[in-house]
């Protein structure tokens, strides 16, 4: 791993292809070819320089373009396999039955697909490691190539050795009458063509669009920022995706949004009352929704208040959450996602004598969100609730049981007292069923007299602080792509000896046509000798045009 000493005396790092100072080709291969490889401007790729320790070996592995391309291909293939069947999170089946679902719906293929973990591909460890390795490859390869290239482009010398000049694709050699005038004229013309011109004695370097060489690296930076943004979603606080059901009249703590409470004031579902027509009829849709809206009030606990402390809640704002009109606060957004209509909220009963059911001794209104122990009807009658089960599911050891805390099927054990029955009669009342009378037949009963219902809304609470990062990453990526694709780096070297011998060379990293156009202009203006394209054989010059096939021009140098 020794440095290479060029004939000009400059010491180049191992792996250098063209002398950093004068541009002489340093490899045997380079000396033999007619046109040198200008990739990375002949700088030593860093990984080629040291290859001793374990770390260096890993580094060199990731620095390899071949490895990078292999990783890209594997990732692409894997990612596309993941799109053959829907991913697990989009499958409409309970968590436990997902494996069965794949087999049932997609047969043996679905089973294999699921067993291989392809049904949840993007969160599998191996896929993430693959993407991670790709990220390492991008970073390492860019550092290895970008830094030397940058150094080389920054420290370009105006005067290059003849062997460098002669091995460029475009060369010209000849005589001019007045060397100084020629140099002045070239400078004038190239400046006019928006080139940056530097002169060093009898040598001239005109350069335009150097930044185009940075396109791929800018693009890589964007990609890395994007990946970092995706990674940050896992960091607590950066990404919140929670859901909440809330009934009208309820106040709930908002999950993921510490210290905030939301009250559902009213849910409204509006529909178009048009006659079904066209596609609506074809799809059998009777009613079309016009608006889903929940009027809410957002509250916030005072600074430092503890969970559960509802004193001094501060009202933040009233808002109507509609589809596409989320409630936004402090980086969070609450979206209307779903609704449920007509959950029982209040039940009314009349206390009646079975003999004369039309005559009521009074009505009780039971607020299911806050049932009272006893309802006094005056006139010596009262009703006591002994047991209330919101979601009655049957008896167990004589005790009524409830399945949930939601009033899907409310049932009551009442004790009814009237002046006629001062000791009270006990009756078990369930919706749509005759009352049960466990302690013998009653004279009185509770007659259902209507109910009030309320609706519930379902909100999703989202916060994604990584979106701006993803956005910035994406924009930088695109800028890199555009710079690398639409601009090109053009260079013209010119050396005029005092005796009038002129040596010219030109290089462009892509789009040779643009370079030749500039060359034509400067050649005729400064009366330079006609240039020659070393990669174009004279007899071929006409042919491509006739066949209508354009040869790809330039060497796509990075």
The residues binding other proteins (CB under 8 A) are 50, 53, 55-56, 58-59, 123, 125, 128-129, 132-133, 135-136, 139-140, 143, 228, 231, 234-235, 251-255, 258, 261, 306-310, 368-373, 385-388, 390-391, 402-405
- Look at residue 120 and give its three-state secondary structure: helix
Q: For residues 264 and 495, which CB has a smaller minimum distance to other proteins in the complex?
A: 264
User: What DSSP element (H or E) covers 132?
Assistant: helix 125-154
Place of tokens 């009551």: 412
Q: For residues 344 and 522, which CB has a smaller minimum distance to other proteins in the complex?
A: 344
**DSSP secondary structure string for all residues of 300-323:** EPPTTPPTT--TTPEEEEEEEEET
Q: For residues 230 and 269, which CB has a smaller minimum distance to other proteins in the complex?
A: 230
CA distance 510 to 196: 19
- Minimum Å gap between C-beta 120 and other proteins is 10
Q: For residues 252 and 462, which CB has a smaller minimum distance to other proteins in the complex?
A: 252
- Minimum Å gap between C-beta 37 and other proteins is 25
Dihedral sign of CA atoms 472, 475, 68, 53 in order: negative
- Minimum Å gap between C-beta 36 and other proteins is 27
Phi and psi torsions of 43, nearest 5°: -75, 155
CA distance 301 to 317: 13
CA distance 170 to 35: 9
Q: For residues 455 and 553, which CB has a smaller minimum distance to other proteins in the complex?
A: 455
Q: For residues 195 and 388, which CB has a smaller minimum distance to other proteins in the complex?
A: 388
- Minimum Å gap between C-beta 430 and other proteins is 16
- Minimum Å gap between C-beta 459 and other proteins is 14
Q: For residues 59 and 102, which CB has a smaller minimum distance to other proteins in the complex?
A: 59
- Minimum Å gap between C-beta 254 and other proteins is 8
Among 260, 144, 167, 187, CA closest to 522: 187
**HSE, side-chain direction, 13 A CA sphere, residue 27:** 14
Q: For residues 310 and 475, which CB has a smaller minimum distance to other proteins in the complex?
A: 310
- Minimum Å gap between C-beta 138 and other proteins is 10
Give Dmax (Cα) for the chain: 137
Q: For residues 249 and 500, which CB has a smaller minimum distance to other proteins in the complex?
A: 249
Q: For residues 228 and 535, which CB has a smaller minimum distance to other proteins in the complex?
A: 228
- Minimum Å gap between C-beta 308 and other proteins is 4
CA distance 305 to 173: 84
Burial of 154: CB neighbours in 10 Å, binned 0-12, 13-18, 19+: exposed
- Minimum Å gap between C-beta 269 and other proteins is 25
Sheet holding 251-253, edge to edge: 251-253, 260-272, 288-300, 314-322
**HSE, side-chain direction, 13 A CA sphere, residue 182:** 25
Q: How many helices (H) and strands (E) does the chain have?
A: 13, 23
> Under a CB-based contact definition with an 8 Å cutoff, are residues 529 and 504 in contact?
yes
- Minimum Å gap between C-beta 472 and other proteins is 18
DSSP 408: S
CA distance 270 to 216: 53
> Under a CB-based contact definition with an 8 Å cutoff, are residues 328 and 391 in contact?
no
Q: For residues 4 and 386, which CB has a smaller minimum distance to other proteins in the complex?
A: 386
Among 134, 198, 193, 211, CA closest to 515: 193
């Amino acid at each position: 791993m020794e440095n290479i000493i060029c004939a000009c005396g400059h010491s180049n790092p191992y792996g250098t292809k063209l002398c950093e100072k004068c541009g002489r080709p340093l490899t045997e291969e380079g000396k033999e070819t007619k046109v040198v490889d200008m990739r990375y401007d002949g700088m030593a790729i860093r990984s080629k320089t040291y290859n001793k320790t374990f770390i260096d070996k890993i580094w060199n592995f990731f620095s390899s373009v071949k490895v990078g391309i292999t990783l890209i291909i594997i990732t692409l293939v894997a990612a596309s396999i993941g799109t053959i069947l829907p991913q697990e999170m989009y499958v409409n089946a309970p968590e436990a039955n997902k494996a069965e679902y794949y087999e049932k719906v997609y047969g043996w293929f679905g089973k294999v697909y699921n067993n291989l973990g392809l049904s949840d591909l993007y969160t599998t460890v191996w896929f993430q490691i693959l993407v991670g390795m790709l990220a390492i490859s991008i970073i390492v390869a860019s550092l290895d190539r970008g830094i030397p290239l940058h150094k080389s482009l920054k420290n370009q010398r105006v005067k290059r050795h003849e062997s460098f000049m002669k091995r460029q694709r475009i060369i010209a050699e000849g005589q001019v009458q007045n060397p100084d005038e020629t140099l002045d004229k070239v400078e004038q013309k190239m400046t006019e063509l928006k080139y940056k011109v530097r002169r060093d004695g009898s040598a001239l370097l005109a350069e335009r669009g150097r930044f185009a060489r940075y396109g791929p690296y800018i693009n890589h930076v964007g990609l890395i920022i994007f990946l970092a943004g995706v990674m940050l979603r896992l960091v607590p606080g950066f990404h919140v995706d929670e859901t909440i059901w809330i009934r009208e009249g309820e106040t709930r703590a908002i999950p993921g949004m510490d210290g905030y409470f939301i009250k559902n004031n009213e849910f409204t579902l509006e529909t178009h009352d048009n006659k079904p027509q066209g596609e609506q009829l074809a799809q059998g849709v009777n009613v079309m929704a016009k608006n889903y809206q929940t009027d809410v009030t957002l509250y916030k606990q005072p600074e430092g208040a503890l969970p559960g402390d509802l004193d001094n809640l501060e009202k933040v704002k009233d808002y109507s959450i509609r589809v596409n009109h989320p409630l936004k606060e402090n980086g969070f957004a609450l979206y209307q996602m779903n609704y449920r209509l007509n959950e029982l909220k209040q039940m009314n009963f009349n206390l009646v004598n079975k003999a004369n059911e039309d005559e009521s001794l009074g009505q009780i209104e039971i607020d299911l969100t806050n049932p009272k122990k006893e309802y006094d009807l005056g006139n010596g009658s009262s009703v006591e609730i002994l047991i209330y089960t919101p979601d009655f599911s049957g008896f167990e050891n004589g005790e009524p049981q409830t399945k949930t805390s939601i009033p899907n099927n409310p049932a009551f054990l009442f004790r009814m007292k009237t002046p006629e029955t001062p000791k009270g009669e006990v009756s078990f009342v369930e919706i749509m069923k005759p009352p049960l009378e466990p302690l013998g037949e009653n004279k009185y009963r509770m007659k259902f007299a209507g109910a009030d219902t309320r609706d519930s809304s379902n909100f999703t609470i989202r916060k994604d602080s990584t979106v701006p990062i993803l956005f910035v990453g994406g924009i930088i990526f695109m800028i890199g792509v555009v710079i690398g694709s639409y601009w090109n780096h053009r260079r013209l070297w010119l050396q005029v000896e005092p005796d009038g011998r002129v040596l010219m060379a030109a290089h462009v990293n892509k789009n040779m046509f643009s370079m030749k156009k500039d060359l034509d202009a400067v050649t005729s203006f400064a009366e330079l000798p006609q240039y020659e394209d070393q990669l174009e054989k004279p007899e071929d010059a006409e042919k491509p045009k006739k066949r209508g096939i354009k040869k790809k021009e330039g060497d796509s140098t990075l």
